[in-house]
């Protein structure tokens, strides 16, 4: 059975991680992997997570199975985090939320659900989008097309071209939107642009599918949910996948959610039954630990306040690194404007370098980033930012 198989090429990000680990250069920098890192280059466990885990360890009495929908308290609390308390109440039984094995699990569960109820549906994704969107959605059977999004030359959103393409999307089509902190470019829709998308969706009848992986890392928890909440308020149907990997630091615990908003409570109940059957067929039921930690934090005022405080510290540090990098690059006298980096949100940004310049950074300076020149801003710290800026300047001037 296996003798005829050929090995697949390594994932670009995982390959960079391995190359960085084996590099003996003491000045090496990893800007590839998309995890938050603190000033010491570590990915810490958040204070509130530590406290919640201690409580669970002391109080948990069973490791029995949960249901395919996951932990009910988590689902209720995460829906309120994403949608806000008032809107969650207003939507009532039109909303169903399922705990999923991370954001990836939520994306795949949503895709399998859509494929089951409307086979070979078309889903439009931004150009560019997170690389894993394509296999997660496409290998479930959805037909993937793209819409223009990022202008690499001018470092902004091609909004007119985006809207022109979306104007051709019809009822039954899905449009994947990044809720905030666009991965890989960091360029987010403004509130006015979200409003225009909502109006177009109302007119044409397509269904927005929002990936909210970085809530709280852009402008704030409520601010980063503006687009999600606007579309949930305006439209009869909406799909939202959210992740707790970044804002709770629960990367390895695989904690996420899938929320479906339907036009009626009857349609929502039918959707819930189909999603539950789909989850049962894929992974039976999600892991409990991460969801229990999040539920413990969100349900407790003290833990919730400390979590929001630390999340604010993370967000402000990332935004500060953006400004600091622009300042350092300006000091190098490079004949190009990098100010766009400071205007973007979240952990990612394109530097606008060529593949040759990227390879120079890797091979000559031990600075690891993908060929598109996308960098993880959180891989920068006060001890490496000057070396990074100098290296970029030398690579650009070659």
345 catalytic, yes or no? Answer: no
Which of 188, 211, 224, 288 is the catalytic position? 211
Residue among 31, 8, 7 at smallest CA distance from 19: 31
Residue with the two structure tokens 């510290």: 313
Whether 38 is a known active-site residue: answer: no
Q: Report the alpha-carbon distance of residue 213 to residue 184 in Å, rounded.
A: 12
Q: Of 28, 37, 246, 345, which is the active-site residue?
A: 246
Torsion sign (Cα): 109, 114, 119, 123? negative
- Contact yes or no for 109/282 (Cβ under 8 A): yes
Cα–Cα dist 243/250, whole Å: 9
Give the Cα separation of 376 and 248 in Å (integer): 18
Burial state string for 345-375 with b = 16 or more CB within 10 A and e = fewer than 16: bbbbbbbbbeeebbebbbeebbbbbbebbbb
Q: 212: which strand partners?
A: 242
Q: Look up 335 and say whether it is catalytic.
A: no
In DSSP terms, 260 is beta-bridged to: 96, 239
Q: Which is catalytic among the residues 37, 130, 224, 345?
A: 130
Handedness of CA 72, 78, 79, 80 (dihedral sign): positive
Contact (CB, 8 A) for 155 and 352: yes
Please list the alpha-helical segments (H only) found in 238-339.
265-282, 289-299, 301-331
**Helix, strand or coil for residue 73?**
helix
> Which of the residues are catalytic?
130, 211, 246
């Amino acid at each position: 059975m296996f003798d005829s198989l050929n090995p697949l090429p390594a994932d670009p990000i995982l390959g960079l991680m391995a190359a960085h680990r084996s590099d003996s250069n003491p000045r090496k920098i990893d800007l590839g992997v998309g995890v938050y890192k603190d000033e010491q280059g570590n990915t810490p466990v958040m204070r509130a997570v530590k406290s919640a885990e201690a409580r669970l360890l002391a109080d948990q009495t069973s490791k029995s199975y949960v249901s395919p929908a996951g932990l009910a308290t988590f689902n209720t609390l995460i829906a309120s985090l994403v949608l806000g308390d008032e809107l969650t109440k207003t939507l009532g039984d039109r909303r169903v939320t399922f705990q999923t094995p991370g954001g990836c699990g939520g994306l795949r569960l949503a895709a399998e659900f859509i494929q089951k109820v409307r086979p070979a549906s078309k889903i439009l994704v931004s150009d560019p989008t997170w690389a894993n969107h394509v296999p997660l959605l496409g290998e479930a059977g959805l037909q993937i097309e793209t819409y223009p999004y990022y202008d690499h030359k001018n470092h902004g959103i091609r909004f007119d071209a985006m809207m022109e393409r979306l104007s051709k999307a019809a009822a039954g089509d899905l449009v994947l939107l990044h809720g905030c902190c666009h991965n890989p470019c960091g360029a987010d829709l403004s509130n006015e642009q979200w409003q225009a998308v909502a109006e177009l969706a109302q007119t044409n009848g397509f269904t927005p599918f929002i990936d909210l992986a970085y809530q709280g890392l852009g402008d704030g928890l409520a601010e980063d949910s503006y687009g999600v909440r606007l579309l949930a308020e305006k439209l009869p149907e909406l799909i939202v996948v959210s992740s707790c990997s970044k804002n709770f630091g629960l990367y390895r615990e695989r904690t996420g959610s899938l929320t479906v908003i339907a036009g009626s409570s009857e349609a929502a109940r039918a959707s819930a039954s189909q999603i539950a059957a789909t989850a049962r067929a894929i992974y039976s039921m999600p892991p409990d630990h991460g969801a229990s930690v999040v539920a413990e934090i969100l349900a407790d005022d003290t833990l919730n306040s400390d979590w929001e405080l630390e999340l604010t510290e993370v967000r402000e540090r990332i935004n500060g690194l953006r400004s600091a990098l622009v300042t350092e690059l300006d000091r190098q006298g490079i004949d190009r404007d990098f100010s766009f980096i400071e205007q973007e949100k979240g952990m990612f940004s394109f530097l606008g370098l060529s593949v040759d310049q990227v390879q120079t950074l890797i091979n000559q300076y031990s600075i690891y980033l993908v060929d598109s020149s996308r960098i993880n801003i959180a891989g920068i710290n006060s001890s490496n930012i000057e070396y990074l800026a100098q290296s970029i300047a030398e690579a650009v001037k070659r």
